[in-house]
Amino acid sequence: MTIVYATIGFSQIRFYRGDGRFDTDIVYTIDDKGTVYHGDNRFSPIIRYTISNNKVYLGRGTNPFNCLYTIRQNKVYKGDTNFSGDVVYTIEGQKVYRGNSTFSSECVLTFDNNQVFMGSSTFSNDLLFTISGETNFSIAILACIIGPY
């Protein structure tokens, strides 16, 4: 899996709780259109988010009023803005930091080997999700889906 800062395209991506791999462990599914379902999209019609043009929208569709996050370079902004005061996350390497910071005390998520850990840890006790799917996607988008922190 390659992780990049821009949305390139999707295949089916699944987030499993912890190190689980059973259908009952699926927390989120992203389909090839950028629609994010709660649970497994084969069984759950609940759409949580829509991803389009480096933006994350609440629910189905891309209504500007439903824009939760905008991703520009290595920053995630609240809503449809790019003001420094609206920075929710900063991405550096495989880590997500709270706000406009890269201090270790502000690290909220670490991505390592298709797994998402809480904080800067990669210990099994801090494992939040295991991700399956062959695609290029953004750590920033993943942070929007599994956050806020």
Q: How confident is the model at residue 127 (pLDDT cuts 50, 70, 90)?
A: very high
131 within 8 A of 139, measured Cβ to Cβ: no
The residues near 42 (Cβ < 8 Å, ≥ 6 apart) are: none
First to last CA, the chain: 24
Phi and psi of 64, rounded to 5°?
Answer: -55, -30
The domain ranges of the chain are 2-146
Give the architecture (CATH level 2) of 2-146: Beta Barrel (2.40)
- pLDDT, tens digit, 9 for 90 and up, residues 43-100: 778 899 999 999 999 999 999 999 999 999 999 999 999 999 999 999 999 999 999 9
123: Cβ contacts below 8 Å, ≥ 6 apart:
117
Q: What pLDDT is stored for residue 3 in this prediction?
A: 40
pLDDT for 134 = 66
